[in-house]
Amino acid sequence: MYSEKVMDHFMNPRNVGEIEDASGVGTVGNARCGDIMKVYLKIEDNIIKDAKFKTFGCGAAVATSSMATELVIGKTIEEALKISNKSVAEALDGLPPVKMHCSLLAEESLHAALWDYAKKNNIKIEGLEEPKEDIHEHEEEAGCCNA
């Protein structure tokens, strides 16, 4: 079902944990759908120095969290904003169709953490929108986890 890369990131997830004095923290997903992703970012001089995550979710959710944090470390905020759900999925050699929504979760949690950072520092990040409370809200029709 999962690519080798997904399984690698699931079995050996990178950057699991918390950042004590994080510059921004974002949590998305909900327990109803069985996926919650929490991302911690450490940002200095517009550059993401470190990223950590905690995830309650399926194999794809864990792997995309791991991959997203890996992709984002060392990037500027602007570069980080360009990380889309598709690029995360591609970096993992693809995801099963029913699991594509998980990569959306990774994108959204990054954005939520950046939004938190911007709010705390009272700055505006071009192109970043306020995260939805629950990214699944608009997906009800497609079934909870069958995006």
Partner 1 sequence: MNKIYLDNAATTPVKKEVVEAMLPYFTENFGNPSSVYQLAQINKKAIDEARETIAKCLGANTNEIFFTSGGTEADNWAIKGIAEVSKGKGNHIITSKIEHHAILHTCEYLEKQGYEITYLDVDSEGMVNPEDVKRAIKDTTILITIMYANNEIGTIMPISEIGKIAKEHNIPFHTDAVQAIGQVKIDVKEQNIDLLSLSGHKFNGPKGIGVLYIKRGLKIGTFIHGGAQERGRRAGTENVPGIVGLGKAIELAYEHFDDKVARLTTLRDELIEGLIRSIPYCKLNGHKTDRLPNNVNIGVEFVEGESLLLLLDMNGIAASSGSACTSGSLDPSHVLLALGLPHEKAHGSVRFTLGEQTTKEQIDFVIEKMPPIVQRMREMSPLYEDFLKTNK
Instruction: Enumerate binding residues for partner 1 (CB under 8 A).
Output: 1, 7, 10-11, 13, 16, 18, 27, 30-38, 53-59, 61-62, 98, 143-146
Do the Cβ atoms of 145 and 33 come closer than 8 Å? yes
Hey, how many other C-beta atoms are within 10 angstroms of the C-beta on 67? 26
Please tell me which residue in 33, 58, 144, 145 is annotated as part of the active site.
33
Is 144 tagged catalytic?
A: no
Please check whether residue 66 is in contact with residue 9, taking contact to mean a CB–CB distance below 8 angstroms.
yes
Cα–Cα dist 25/5, whole Å: 26
3-state secondary structure of 35: strand
- Residue 122 Cβ, how far from partner 1 at the closest point, in Å? 26
58 part of the active site: no
Kindly state the smallest distance separating residue 61's Cβ from partner 1, in Å: 8
Question: Which residue in 58, 102, 144, 145 is the catalytic one?
Answer: 102
Our CB check for partner 1 shows the closer of 59 and 81 to be: 59
Cβ proximity of 119 and 131 under 8 Å: no
| Least distance between partner 1 and beta carbon 70 (Å) | 15
